[in-house]
Chain A
């Protein structure tokens, strides 16, 4: 159907360009190594540019230099540097790299194999001093698989089994090592309140917290302890400052890394990602966050249809829970599919998330499916690019095809949200990342025997 006849014509003068870069969309043909030299300017020409911030440009040109977008516009209006390498994108769609607002990339390889998992520390519910950056496995085989479908950036979060499971990082899906890929460490902290953080529902085996009251009380205590910790240090510092040289110095309070980890959140310097699904949980968790004046980003809301109007009034951004969550027994089949459209209609700023590891690559299809259930197409694209960039505070660098932004750019055979679209090139920081992963290697090994 969309079997593209498009070929990538690459200037013969290029050192690294080879015939293997010519790939028919959807074919079983081998994908070649990277083709374009990131040290020289790159011009992507003739494609349909989905700029996100200033509409669609047919037959557009996008220029990349030194890892940044240096020009965007219609052919004729953009000056292509004389030494630019040309990537002919005629018939292609060009769009900013997609952002997954919650994944577990780098924390797992094989779900059922315990030794390959660093998803969550379940020994206690309050674990704000866990940093996914400490576990992030840059060489994970899952990352090139996600990248293969045009996902260039993601939030890495711990699994949601704990109420406060630790701190998220914001990554890019390419780089020589973890230091290059971890763009922002400890960018935010999940606060999970879905009910599944309770420790045992049976009376016989229950541990604290057995109920939502317990979960809330435990968190309230943790934030209160952190406030007390601040006071203790303030008093100590005051005493120390007031002490004369002849006085014996006040005794130094002992450090507490767990409580210290909560401080940037208590001070509202970083956002807390409040995850809840049912209306009562959403309201309880939101009230708890307000009690401590936390800076809130909502997450989930899959079964909160009844309070969408109220949520909209809170004027908070929302990481959409998985639209594939099954509706409640009494609900119509499409109650959750409609969530993105319903929230968008009410003016809520939304961002899609996969909540996945192996299947991060399917993130754009969920946005496409949401379009089929009422979300305007442009909003769906924004909810994968610009809106998450804004929510995560990186919209000066990411989220649209604009001059000065980081060149995270995808070139694909068609509509980014359609299942059939074949991604041809993924640029991350201006580098044409090889379209190779563990799965293409297995495919090539066994299809060419």
Chain B
């Protein structure tokens, strides 16, 4: 974590910073063979592959040179030291690692703190179960990074955790270094149902949005109280009384200060517009609408506000607010200038997001590059890590997938998956197909 982001994030962010330091200590305690492979110090060249770079199109007979966890070079002519081990990828494809910007795996069922509609002080990291086999299965599906979000029971949910799917490593070694803090909001049927069933506010969409406005109004008051206190302290005013620190309101202040990426579960076109109006009212930006199945009805509003969508390729009809979902949603929104990502929201679909992205080629004719963006770079942008991963570019983390079969088809299956240049999954290996990991480790 950079000092800048730590400073931006304020007091609440000191905790992860401390954990990162601890994590480095733990890494040293791994068995020798384990750390040798997962050192972030590997050097190798993948040769003779079809590269789908995401940012620079397709390169036939291409190579990728990886060193010290980063992509050092890629292209049809790559100069690498003769000493670097070669991996021949004749007939195979190489893509950036898939990024899943909407997952609830590895939370041991603790997805929703549904006891109040406003719980921004919840930290998903506190529920993160790094031993969950779901992480392994995502990895085997080519997913190298996931955004683990709070559920959609609450209008304002908790703070997400961004991980790299380094299954077999320790909890804190999986946290994505330097990833900004995301927070989950929701809207529509879920909060209505959860609290309505309890005969509580909110039970309608009016109630939903009022609960949000109420929370942000309180947070504004809280911020003013602190501003006044800090002002007095600065002026050496002895009457200054330190206000109580309220972690819930503190988190909302950070939202209003633009220190968190706001990820909103939202289905209906009218609700996008209301969410945008509330964000404007309280001065924060929305990073992405999730599900966003009616984006195709108001894509201009999303594009104009630079709000991405993390959507399903073709899910529909599972509830009333998904009744107008169409499989052309992703492409129609994209054509209107919206940044589109395909996400899983499912421990099942996260294992084959490549096929889901390929559906945008079937419904609406997305190009290969456009489908790849929905799978890698755009979800990375949603999570604020697009400068670190999400494409085959020099200097980026070596999060790479070698594919048997064309990835944007029914037949693409990951053969090898590297994260930070370390090999975490190899289909050719027996057992789980993990180079070092064994049960019980």
> Residues on A close to B: CB < 8 A?
1-3, 24-28, 109-113, 141-142, 324, 326-327, 329-330, 332-334, 357-359, 361-362, 364-365, 368-369, 371-373, 417-422, 439-440, 442-443, 446-447
Contact = CB atoms under 8 A, between A and B. Distances in A.
A358 B326 CA distance: 12
- With a 10 A CB-CB cut-off, give which of A361, A365, A420 has the most chain B CB atoms: A420
Nearest to A330: B439
16 contacts: A3-B361, A24-B365, A110-B320, A110-B322, A142-B317, A333-B141, A358-B318, A368-B410, A369-B355, A369-B410, A372-B405, A420-B361, A422-B362, A439-B328, A442-B296, A443-B296
Given A326-B348, A332-B431, A28 B365 contact: yes
Contacts of A110: 317-320, 322-323
A445 to B, nearest CB: 9
- With a 10 A CB-CB cut-off, give which of B324, B326, B347 has the most chain A CB atoms: B326
B321 to A, nearest CB: 9
What is the interface of chain B mostly: helix, strand, loop, or mixed?
loop
B432 A326 contact: no
B365 A419 contact: no
A93 to B, nearest CB: 14
Contacts of B136: 333
B351 interface: yes
Given A28-B364, A333-B433, A358-B317, A372 B411 contact: yes
Given A26-B364, A447-B332, A368 B411 contact: yes
Contacts of A420: 358, 361-362, 408-409
A141 B322 CA distance: 13
A440 B324 CA distance: 11
Given A324-B351, A333-B140, 12 more contacts: A26-B364, A28-B328, A110-B319, A111-B318, A141-B317, A333-B136, A365-B410, A439-B328, A443-B326, A443-B328, A443-B332, A446-B296
A139 to B, nearest CB: 15
Contact of A419 (B317, B319, B325, B362): B362
B113 interface: no
Interface string B299-335: 0000000000000001111111011111110011000
B265 to A, nearest CB: 15
B359 interface: yes
Contacts of B411: 368-369, 371-372, 418
Contact of B410 (A24, A112, A419): A419
B197 to A, nearest CB: 13
A113 B413 contact: no
Nearest to A24: B365
B368 interface: yes
A447 B410 contact: no
Nearest to A380: B410
B56 interface: no
Interface in B424-441: 431-433, 439
A228 B368 CA distance: 65
A446 B365 contact: no
A123 B327 CA distance: 36
B352 interface: yes
B70 interface: no
A26 B361 contact: yes
A61 B432 CA distance: 48
Contacts of A25: 365
Given A365-B355, A365-B410, A368-B411, A1 B332 contact: no
A329 B431 CA distance: 12
Interface in B399-434: 404-405, 408-413, 431-433
A421 B362 contact: yes
Interface of B: 133, 136-137, 140-141, 189, 296-297, 314-320, 322-328, 331-332, 347-348, 351-352, 355, 358-359, 361-365, 367-368, 404-405, 408-413, 431-433, 439
B406 to A, nearest CB: 8
Given A333-B432, A443-B332, A26 B362 contact: yes
A1 B361 contact: yes
Contacts of A3: 361, 365
Contacts of A369: 352, 355, 410-411
Nearest to A148: B327
A332 B433 contact: yes
Contacts of B359: 419
B410 A329 contact: no
A313 to B, nearest CB: 27
A334 B426 CA distance: 13
A326 B409 CA distance: 21
Contacts of B412: 372
A330 B331 CA distance: 39
B173 to A, nearest CB: 21
- With a 10 A CB-CB cut-off, give which of A25, A334, A372 has the most chain B CB atoms: A372
Contacts of B133: 329
B296 A447 contact: yes
- With a 10 A CB-CB cut-off, give which of B297, B318, B364 has the most chain A CB atoms: B318
A1 B412 CA distance: 15
Nearest to B405: A372
B362 A439 contact: no
Contacts of A439: 316, 325-328
B358 A112 contact: no
Contacts of A368: 409-411
B125 to A, nearest CB: 23
- A-B CB proximity, top 7 nearest: A368-B410, A26-B365, A112-B319, A333-B140, A439-B326, A358-B317, A419-B358
Contacts of A142: 317
- With a 10 A CB-CB cut-off, give which of A2, A365, A368, A440 has the most chain B CB atoms: A365
A358 B316 CA distance: 7
Contacts of B332: 28, 443, 446-447
A109 B433 CA distance: 41
B405 to A, nearest CB: 6
A2 B409 CA distance: 10
Contacts of A111: 317-319
B326 A418 contact: no
A109 B317 CA distance: 7
A26 B412 CA distance: 20
A124 B322 CA distance: 31
A239 to B, nearest CB: 56
- With a 10 A CB-CB cut-off, give which of B317, B323, B327, B368 has the most chain A CB atoms: B317
A326 B347 contact: yes
Nearest to B134: A326
Nearest to B414: A333
A369 B405 CA distance: 11
Nearest to A142: B317
